[in-house]
Amino acid sequence: MNTLIEQCVESLGTLTLNKTRTGLAILGIVIGIGSVIALVSLGQASQQAISSQIQSLGSNLLTVSPGSSSQGGVRQAQGSRTTLKLDDAKAISASSQITTVKTVSPEFTQRTQVRTGSANTNTQVIGATPSYLEVHKVSIATGNFITQRDVDSMTKVAVLGPQVVTDLFGEEADVIGQKVRVGSQTLSIIGVTVSKGGSGFMNQDDVIYVPLTTAQKQLFGVNHLTSIALEANNAEVMTDAQNEVGYLLLAQHKLNDPTEADFSIMSQQDILNTVSSTTGTFTLLLSGIAAISLLVGGIGIMNIMLVTVTERTREIGLRKALGAKKKTIITQFLIESIILTFSGGIIGVLLGIILSFVISKLTGMAFLLSFSSISLAFIVSVAIGILFGWYPAQKAARLQPIEALRYE
């Protein structure tokens, strides 16, 4: 035990003789471990943020979309982008065969430019009915939401998300009664929704709600739906609800073969699984790229150790001439290599945690740390020290004392 401690102390002394070389040797390990931890944290935070946004769309949610899904992915049938109609939503609501669906929300969605005065923004316009509030769990901060009378009369009214209010009128502006223009139509603002958060194309605050018929007939000139959102009675009947709605729509579209369906039905869990799979693959890819730095760092350490062996050839010869065993020489050089990677591992972990924290603050996402990735990265760093330190250690141990002492 004392011998091992002495070797560790001696190794530290040897490494501190050339601080620059030692620092450069561990730099690759530091960057590699720090990158792995930061990127895994970023991937997990992104996955959690997207999952939260999807879940906030509504509970027990089913989404009927135009186009048919097949085992090999999404297969778009001919004219599938216009296969869903308002009659389909009405049929689901009125059918006595549908016993598992509580609320039906027919929707038409399209991004477009919205203006008021000199301000304008590109946002998502959602043609909706009153049931949208219940299905998607949207709350009104001020004013009112769209009524059935608005839908029946194609009223030119709009309910704004808080992000649109900020973009067009500024923060905390009183917008009830003011006007916005969508295309050639002028809409009166009747309400503002409570913020639900999000970013990019998934920002649920960056939307404008208008009556479904107003969106279809007056704003975009269409007669189809982009989706039908359904709220199932509870989580246990989601599969039954998918089957019931699926068979009803097949009959509604006069199709006998389910494989010929011109629509697809996805549950919230289906979407979450897809997102988890995609973000997981992306995180794994980024981590793999970062892990290459660990390999490069290991090669760097091996090169440094080989140089060290060359510089200390006479020292090695003298120690062997005085009776040092081959095992002692190997242990000495392995300890030096492990100290390098161990130190780099500690600094790399600290760097990864700091980077993860900074990224979370800059992006507004949750600060998540994967302790399994931290442990794995640290263990790998020590393993790299053993792996890449073994060859230089063996080379030192194989030196013949006489030849080593003659080395200039």
Q: Tally Cβ neighbours within 10 Å of residue 4.
A: 10
Q: Alpha-carbon distance 305 to 297, whole Å?
A: 12
**326: part of which helix (H) or strand (E)?**
helix 326-363
pLDDT band at 352 (very low <50, low <70, confident <90, very high): confident
Residues with Cβ within 8 Å of residue 325, at least 6 apart in sequence: none
Q: Give the pLDDT of residue 77.
A: 45
CB contact at 8 A, 32 and 293? yes
Bridge pairing between strands 207-211 and 119-128: parallel
**pTM for this model (two decimals):** 0.61
Per cent of the chain over pLDDT 90 is 28
Q: Give the pLDDT of residue 298.
A: 74
Report whether pLDDT(171) > 70.
yes
**47: part of which helix (H) or strand (E)?**
helix 19-55
Joined together, the tokens standing for residue 365 give: 């996402």
Per the model's pLDDT, the better-predicted residue between 130 and 340 turns out to be: 130
> In this predicted model, what pLDDT tens digit does every residue of 260-275 receive, in sequence order?
888 888 877 666 666 6
Q: What's the chain's average pLDDT?
A: 80
Q: Give the pLDDT of residue 3.
A: 66
> In this predicted model, what pLDDT tens digit does every residue of 266-311 receive, in sequence order?
877 666 666 667 777 777 776 777 667 667 777 777 777 777 776 6
Per the model's pLDDT, the better-predicted residue between 63 and 57 turns out to be: 63
Classified as helix, coil or strand, 290 is: helix
Report whether pLDDT(241) > 80.
yes
For the ranges 137-146, 167-176, 330-339, the one whose mean pLDDT is highest:
137-146
User: Minimal CA–CA distance to 174: which of 141, 147, 196, 146?
Assistant: 141
Handedness of CA 39, 45, 49, 54 (dihedral sign): positive
Q: Give the pLDDT of residue 277.
A: 72
